[in-house]
Amino acid sequence: MLIFKLIFSIGNNTAEGTVHQFYEYEQEGDFGRSWELLHPVMQEKFGRSAYFQDKAHVFIGHFGAETFSYEVSDVKKLKDWRMEKEGEIFETVYEYEVELNYRGKYGHFLYIQYVYVVKEEKEWRILWDYKK
């Protein structure tokens, strides 16, 4: 058990490990903890309680899906990336395509989300693309 925890914690110190940890929290409905993995500029977009309420309302309430499965794609390394058209430039960002599979009251559906991960104060943090 100790070896498993050690390996698991090492994996969370990577960009991909952070993506997996984020979606594991989301699967559990622990939106407060998944929110903590968001980059501060993302956290400014919506407060912790608003994020929790929106996620629970949309995915559980509207979709009728208690949980989901997910798959993370191979990584792409991007240089000088921006989250928003006029936003901060991030020197190095890792892009993942995440495939989320939901089964709910409206049947089975697939949701694709692009996730960007950047190192912020020695911690990996999640960003989403808001460019239009």
Q: Rounded distance, CA 90 to CA 104, Å? A: 37
Q: pTM of the entire structure?
A: 0.86
Residue 75: φ, ψ to 5°:
-85, 150
Instruction: Assign domain 2-127 to its CATH architecture.
Output: Roll (3.10)
Taking residues 99-112, what's their average pLDDT?
90
- Of 62, 46, 54, 40, nearest to 123 by C-alpha is 40
Collect all residues with Cβ–Cβ distance below 8 Å to 101 and sequence separation of at least 6: 68, 69, 70, 108, 109, 110, 111
pLDDT digits (tens, 9 = 90+) for 45-94: 999 999 988 888 777 777 777 789 999 998 999 999 999 999 999 999 99
pLDDT at 12: 60
| Encoded tokens for 109 | 């559906």
Cβ proximity of 96 and 21 under 8 Å:
no
CA nearest neighbour of 37 among 56, 55, 23: 23
